[in-house]
């Protein structure tokens, strides 16, 4: 039982850490935009700022997925779930988590191949920044993997305990 509590703390820490990294990426976007504005006002150039902001946006999106899932921020259609009985609701949620986890791991596999081949061929961005693309792609891959872990975590928890880790105190959840 102590091992399960430790695993739960590690997983929750992973999801929180990814959310913090997502927030850091959003702050980086703000800083990049402000620096680009200042550069324009002073007649200077800041090559690659839009590309870096785009990389940070992709990283922020993917890194925030797991925390958003467990925080109840993902869109869920509760109308059908609330109308179903407890057994049917459990089966529907189990099916949704199973399909979501399979699709997320499939995406992770393809994203891994994408990052690997970008690294293998030395693929660089076409903008002025000439960034090796495997670096920003790796953050997307990390976020996707953490999201797949979160979906699998919720699937297994739902399977064995009949509940998941999604917060229910959001507006409009109906529970």
Question: What is the distance of C-alpha 90 from the center of its chain?
Answer: 25
Q: Residue 127 — φ and ψ, nearest 5°?
A: -80, -175
Domain hosting residue 70, numbered range:
2-161
Does some domain include residue 32? yes
pLDDT at 49: 86
Does some domain include residue 170? no
Does some domain include residue 77? yes
Average pLDDT in the 110-132 region?
90
Does some domain include residue 172? no
Q: Residue 130 — φ and ψ, nearest 5°?
A: 50, 40
pLDDT digits over 80-109, tens only? 778 888 899 899 999 999 999 999 999 999
- Nearest-CA neighbor of 48 among 125, 129, 124? 129
Does some domain include residue 23? yes
Beta bridge partners of 132: 124
Long-range contacts of 169-172 (CB under 8 A, 24+ apart): 169/72, 170/71, 170/72, 170/73, 172/78
pLDDT digits over 41-77, tens only? 999 988 888 888 999 999 999 999 999 999 888 777 6
pLDDT digits over 135-159, tens only? 989 999 999 999 999 999 999 999 9
Contact 97, 151 (CB under 8 A): yes
What domain count does the chain have?
A: 1
Confidence tier at 175 by pLDDT (50, 70, 90): very low
Does some domain include residue 171? no
- Nearest-CA neighbor of 65 among 8, 137, 135, 142? 142
Contact 49, 36 (CB under 8 A): yes
Does some domain include residue 48? yes
Does some domain include residue 40? yes
Contact 149, 14 (CB under 8 A): yes
pLDDT digits over 119-128, tens only? 999 998 887 7
């Amino acid at each position: 039982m102590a091992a399960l509590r430790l695993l739960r703390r590690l997983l929750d820490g992973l999801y929180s850490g990814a959310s913090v990294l997502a927030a850091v990426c959003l702050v980086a976007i703000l800083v990049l935009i402000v620096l680009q504005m200042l550069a324009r006002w002073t007649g200077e150039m800041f090559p690659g700022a839009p590309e870096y902001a785009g990389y940070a946006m992709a990283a922020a999106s993917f890194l925030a997925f797991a925390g958003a899932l467990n925080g109840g921020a993902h869109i869920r259609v509760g109308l059908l779930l609330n109308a179903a009985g407890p057994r049917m609701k459990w089966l529907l949620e189990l099916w949704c988590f199973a399909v979501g986890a399979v699709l997320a791991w499939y995406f992770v596999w393809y994203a891994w191949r994408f990052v690997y081949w970008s690294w293998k061929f030395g693929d660089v961005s076409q903008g002025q920044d000439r960034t090796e693309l495997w670096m920003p792609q790796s953050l997307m891959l990390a976020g996707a993997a953490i999201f797949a872990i979160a979906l699998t975590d919720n699937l297994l928890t739902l399977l064995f305990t009949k509940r998941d880790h999604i917060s229910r105190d959001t507006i409009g959840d109906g529970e």
